[in-house]
Amino acid sequence: MQALTFIDRRAETASAPHVTALDGNMSETGLTTGDFTQENEPFSLFGTWLKEAQDAEINDPNALALATVDADGLPDVRMVLLKDFDQRGFVFYTNFESQKGQEILGSMKAAMCFHWKTLRRQVRVRGPVEIVSNEEADEYYKTRARGSRIGAWASKQSRPLESRFALEKAVAEYTLKYAIGEIPRPDHWSGFRIKPTSIEFWKDGAFRLHDRIEFRRDEAEGDWNKVRMYP
């Protein structure tokens, strides 16, 4: 898995790539990727873009919009954080009893979109979903701050909350319960991996003549085909 380490760069905004306006459209300068259309597989390109986003974005370069659908086919979308990726797919963690957890478990499909405003780029991902192994979930859970691990027990995510006091009381109770030693991972808290069948890279172009390259495959372990798309 890729080791994702993200740094707060709010004090370094002066070093971000320069962006200039061109007749109401934005053109990018100072980027280092080169001609991304020459790439023949998506994961190494994504890794390059993510690293450049880490260097350029002020907050949460690993943030993404996660889209799911409910039992009636009505879509939901919310922001989550990417925690790992490799050739198998893109991993994030959540409470499986939450709305997004239940919707993913109901369909085992999802989509995500990364948008890096500073770089004028986005990446869209679609595909089936699998649950990460217990070993992967345990390893990541141990890296979380102690308060976040307590929160995974205390929060009945996506369900009605009678008062803020009720949440604070639950946090206090679990803090006392796990005052000494390791905090175990709840059975209802784990990770999902989107195993992409489509990954599209979008790069801003002058006068809205953007670059769009989509990598497609028929199944999650299949070979990739690359297609250039109209803007």
What are the structure tokens assigned to 140, written together? 């990541």
Q: Does domain 19-142+193-228 have CATH number 1.20.1070.10?
A: no
Q: How far apart are the first and last CA of the chain?
A: 33
What are the structure tokens assigned to 117, written together? 């405003």
Q: Which of 208, 216, 217, 228 is catalytic?
A: 208
Closest by CA position to 38, among listed 29, 26, 48: 48
pLDDT tens per residue across span 34-56: 577 777 889 999 999 999 999 99
What one-character DSSP code corresponds to residue 212?
A: E
- Give yes or no: 88 in active site: no
Q: Chain-wide mean pLDDT for the chain? A: 86
Compute the 3-state secondary structure of the chain and give helix, strand, coil in percent, each to the nearest 5.
Answer: 30, 30, 35
Q: Is the pLDDT of residue 21 over 60?
A: no
What are the structure tokens assigned to 94, written together? 């959540």
Task: Give the mean pLDDT of 140-163.
Answer: 94
pLDDT tens per residue across span 179-219: 999 999 999 999 999 999 999 999 998 888 889 999 999 98
**69 close to 76: Cβ distance less than 8 angstroms:** yes
**86 close to 1: Cβ distance less than 8 angstroms:** yes
Q: Is the pLDDT of residue 14 over 50?
A: no
Q: Is the pLDDT of residue 79 over 80?
A: yes
Distance CA 231, CA 212 (A): 6
Task: Compute CA distances 161 → 94, 167, 182, whole Å.
Answer: 18, 8, 27
Total-model pTM: 0.84
**57 close to 50: Cβ distance less than 8 angstroms:** no
pLDDT tens per residue across span 85-101: 999 999 999 999 999 99
Q: Where are the domains of the chain?
A: 19-142+193-228
Q: Is the pLDDT of residue 22 over 70?
A: no
